[in-house]
Structure 1
Amino acid sequence: MERRHFIQLSALGSVFGSSLAANAKDAEKAEKQAQTLAVGHPAVMAPREDGVEIVWRVSGLAKGYVEYGKTKDLGQVQRGDDWGIRPAGKEVIRVRLEGCEPGTEYYYRVITENFNHKEPKKEEGEIRRFRTLDGSKDSTNFAVWNDTHKWDETIAKLQEMTPAGDFLLWNGDTSNDWYKEGEVAATLITPGKGEDFTAKHPLVFLRGNHDLRGTHAYQVEDYAATAEGLPWCAFRSGPVAAICLDTGEDKDDDNPYLFGRVACEPMRQAQAEWLEKVIERPEIKNAPYKVVFCHIPLRWIDESTDHGYDHFSRRSRELWNDILVKWGVQIVVSGHTHREAHIKADEKFPYDQLVGGGPRMKQARLITADANKERLQFVVKDMDGKVTQEVSLKPLV
């Protein structure tokens, strides 16, 4: 009797165990099916007069495309790249849109698909908007962030304070060092706690010295779209010509702290050669206002002290200064020092240097700018909304 009871219980246990295992497998399968392919909000990057680049995170290997158009009916599709391959990735998908009209609002949505042909899955994102740049307008407005260093509270506050504009320029040191899997994509596309930070303006991304550090720093160029496919660029927005330069590291390339991972000296030289040509482009040469953005300042309050790292980028200035002066640069906008500053133009350096703050709430600064026919006005605010600096420039032409 006891033996028979034991066998019955064992049989029941076996059935119950099998049932649990089956239920667990079904639950796991259901969870995988329920998992979204796209993660967070897509980001609009690399604005140009003829388009932008849409970048979004994915939860695993996926392919995707973008539907877009001048109305919510969309009507146009970008689903391939120059290599004849569907845009795809394990962490990020990027789709470059071209052939758009300047200064025009477009609607778009991202479509994400899995690679499982036996159980295909397709997700349609919500319809969103972007506006292309327009260099022929009489006015423009934009904002600058710098040195956020993955401080969620600061990023959230900056997002809250930043008004809609023609572009947002993230002026370097988005990170501390890139050592964790997945953090490059998360930081550059859904920063902070997943902020929808390009809903009000497309992003122009510039690296800082910390963005070159860590074993995953090589991923930045894969996930941060830029207008010309390089970490520097030039563009026109209304009456403002913007030249964006990459100052690289704040130490020598052979500094042991950098572990042989950087090659900034040839990069700065390449930018000098590029600068000679770009300042002759008509839309850049003839602009009423001429602005340079770079993470490390080209000037500093005290240039005599050697800290073992650069408070200002002497290496960059020695290569670029004469070319920028020839162009007629009026102001250089930077970060890096975690200390705001406004250094006025003088006889030696005939351009202003404006520097934003740092990652902590007390240090952080939002820089906004408005330009029209009469003036280009920069305003710096702390996170309480108090104005801490104002710089007003007259048009050159």
Structure 2
Amino acid sequence: MKQEINGHPRREFLGNLSKAGILGSLAAFLPGSSSAAVLDALTANPVQGHVFLTKPYLQDPEANSMTIRWLTNKLCYSWVEYGETINLDKKAHQVNGGLVDAHNRINNVPLKGLKPNTKYSYRVVAKEIVDFQPYALKYGETITSDTYTFTTPELNPEQVSWLVMNDIHDRPQSIPHLLKLNGNEEFDYVFYNGDIFDHQTDEQQIIDHLLTPSTDVFASTKPFMFVRGNHETRGKFSRELPEYFSNKGGKGYFAYKWGPVFNIVLDTGEDKVDDHPVYAGIVDFDGYREEQERWLKEIMTTPAFKKAKFRVVMMHIPHYHSGDWHGPMHCRQLFAPLFAKHKIDIVISGHTHKYGVWPPSAEHPYPIIIGGGPKDGNRTLIKVKADQKSLQLSMLKDDGTEVGKYTCLA
């Protein structure tokens, strides 16, 4: 006899739920279930005990806030302990509609009301929930991370610097290798400009190929931002990918001002037409890019954009110098007129696996910088620094040699 939930076969119903979100909601559909039963319904019950699957990683930096993310292997109630000293005298957890986030594994806790340009210490804590009944909750083991530090941005900084990596394509060893090229120079954050993966397979891939190599070298003490490339739109876990990042505004595209730079981040989607057979009729990237065009028109009329010393666009697929596939051409149709009209200073992209600097031309009155590809000898690190007088970009190949540079003057 088939078991049905809300009129649908149980197997079909579970298959339609988000694998990330299901961890926090499945118990409601399994009467009398314990946390162990919830996990058993998804994957093999963890055998390594109660552990963190990732170190904490920093997201969505602001002068008065910072978001801490981390993953556990069991369903928990989790929180952040933090403070301006090692005493960690403050505690934060996420609350939605009066309910504290709990009985979940993917944690997202914003620390609010912070002081600008201030160093904070923090650690994350997870208390396992072994049984969750309507009027009886049973806790298990509590685990605590190491203590880390971060410094909030200044309120109106005079300068900013960041590092850009793109097209890693499931080669996690490239992240520490490329970051090392920066030497001991200070930077404010890292930006991942798409195609960090070949396609989305499961959560373990995200942990092993992005989160772990990032936290091993910087992401527990310096934030990173992330935008999809066309390869991140592919695979059975692609729809769960946003669950692991905190972008400004909660969307795949966003804008932010840091010091003298106003940054626009666009999610360029796929490179082929929506009705291509490989997409099986379940994508609409044309509509998504058109949505971003409407948003872009609004953003470019804001005082913050207009008054910025420099205006930078970061997008995975460059709208020029990347062939005549549908994705690049549609981006060109939608975005190029706006970039020209509102005087974008520089566009930073990837996708082609051919690094290069294309100066302003009749087609695009602004430079386009394209980072390299995943293979040894073609990997690149892009370094950007800006102050009140100039924005300077340098692109290093994976052997440390400079293969491109550009300077914009205020």
| Fold similarity call, TM over 0.5 | yes
Which residue in the other structure is 2:134 paired with? none
Q: 1:252 to 1:100 in 2, by over 3 A?
A: farther
Matches within 5 A, 1:248-267: 248-267=269-288
Quote how far apart the aligned CAs of 1:291 are.
Answer: 0.5
Q: 1:134 to 1:345 in 2, by over 3 A?
A: farther
Mapped to 1, the partners of 2:388 and 2:114 lie a distance apart of 26
Quote how far apart the aligned CAs of 1:119 are.
Answer: 5.7
For residue 215 of structure 1, what is the amino acid of its counterpart?
A: K
Residue ranges of structure 2 left out of the alignment (5+ in a row)? 1-44, 131-136
Mapped to 1, the partners of 2:123 and 2:72 lie a distance apart of 15
For residue 236 of structure 1, what is the amino acid of its counterpart?
A: K
Query: Cα RMSD (Å) of the superposition?
Result: 2.3
Which residue in the other structure is 1:155 paired with? 175
Mapped to 2, the partners of 1:340 and 1:93 lie a distance apart of 36
Quote how far apart the aligned CAs of 1:272 are.
Answer: 1.1
Which residue in the other structure is 2:392 paired with? 377
Name which of 153, 162, 165 aligns with 1:142: 162
Instruction: Give the strand-richer structure, 1 or 2.
Output: 2
* SS of residue matched to 1:97: strand
User: In 2, are the aligned partners of 1:38 and 1:59 still within 8 Å (CA)?
Assistant: yes
* SS of residue matched to 1:107: strand
Mapped to 2, the partners of 1:235 and 1:246 lie a distance apart of 15
Mapped to 1, the partners of 2:189 and 2:340 lie a distance apart of 25
Name which of 381, 397, 400 aligns with 1:366: 381
Quote how far apart the aligned CAs of 1:87 are.
Answer: 3.0
Q: 1:107 to 1:57 in 2, by over 3 A?
A: same
For residue 75 of structure 1, what is the amino acid of its counterpart?
A: D
1:268-313 deviations in Å (ceiling 9; x for gaps): 1111111112123322221111100000012217x5xx5xx46x72
* SS of residue matched to 1:176: coil
Which residue in the other structure is 2:32 paired with? none
User: In 2, are the aligned partners of 1:65 and 1:112 still within 8 Å (CA)?
Assistant: yes
Q: 1:374 to 1:129 in 2, by over 3 A?
A: same
Mapped to 1, the partners of 2:310 and 2:387 lie a distance apart of 10
- Is 1:220 the counterpart of 2:235? The answer is no
- Is 1:79 the counterpart of 2:99? The answer is no
User: In 1, are the aligned partners of 2:46 and 2:73 still within 8 Å (CA)?
Assistant: no
Matched residue pairs, number?
A: 358
Which residue in the other structure is 1:62 paired with? 76
1:71-113 deviations in Å (ceiling 9; x for gaps): 3223222213223333346552221223333433322211111
Mapped to 2, the partners of 1:268 and 1:250 lie a distance apart of 12
Mapped to 2, the partners of 1:188 and 1:152 lie a distance apart of 6
User: In 2, are the aligned partners of 1:64 and 1:86 still within 8 Å (CA)?
Assistant: no
- Is 1:184 the counterpart of 2:206? The answer is yes
Which residue in the other structure is 2:303 paired with? 282
Greater Cα shift, 46-55 or 263-272:
46-55
Mapped to 1, the partners of 2:334 and 2:55 lie a distance apart of 39
Q: 1:196 to 1:56 in 2, by over 3 A?
A: farther
User: In 1, are the aligned partners of 2:58 and 2:67 still within 8 Å (CA)?
Assistant: yes
- Is 1:121 the counterpart of 2:136? The answer is no
Mapped to 2, the partners of 1:282 and 1:134 lie a distance apart of 20
Which residue in the other structure is 1:293 paired with? 314
1:339-385 deviations in Å (ceiling 9; x for gaps): 10111112331110000011122110000111122211101111111
Matches within 5 A, 1:344-355: 344-355=359-370
* SS of residue matched to 2:162: strand
Mapped to 2, the partners of 1:96 and 1:187 lie a distance apart of 24
Which residue in the other structure is 2:29 paired with? none
Tell which structure's C-alpha radius of gyration is larger.
Answer: 1
Which residue in the other structure is 1:22 paired with? none
Instruction: Give TM-score scaled by structure 1 length.
Output: 0.83
Q: 1:361 to 1:84 in 2, by over 3 A?
A: farther
Mapped to 1, the partners of 2:359 and 2:155 lie a distance apart of 27
Quote how far apart the aligned CAs of 1:149 are.
Answer: 1.0
User: In 2, are the aligned partners of 1:91 and 1:182 still within 8 Å (CA)?
Assistant: no
Mapped to 2, the partners of 1:79 and 1:248 lie a distance apart of 33
User: In 2, are the aligned partners of 1:335 and 1:355 still within 8 Å (CA)?
Assistant: yes
Matches within 5 A, 1:283-322: 283-300=304-321, 303=323, 306=324, 309=325, 313-322=328-337
Mapped to 1, the partners of 2:104 and 2:148 lie a distance apart of 23
Which residue in the other structure is 2:196 paired with? 174
* SS of residue matched to 1:251: coil
Quote how far apart the aligned CAs of 1:34 are.
Answer: 6.8
Mapped to 2, the partners of 1:273 and 1:378 lie a distance apart of 29
For residue 398 of structure 2, what is the amino acid of its counterpart?
A: M
* SS of residue matched to 1:39: coil
Mapped to 2, the partners of 1:36 and 1:182 lie a distance apart of 16
Matches within 5 A, 1:198-213: 198-213=219-234
Mapped to 1, the partners of 2:269 and 2:176 lie a distance apart of 27
Quote how far apart the aligned CAs of 1:151 are.
Answer: 0.4
Residue ranges of structure 1 left out of the alignment (5+ in a row)? 1-30
Mapped to 1, the partners of 2:218 and 2:280 lie a distance apart of 33
Which residue in the other structure is 1:333 paired with? 348
User: In 2, are the aligned partners of 1:333 and 1:353 still within 8 Å (CA)?
Assistant: yes
User: In 2, are the aligned partners of 1:235 and 1:284 still within 8 Å (CA)?
Assistant: no
Which residue in the other structure is 2:14 paired with? none
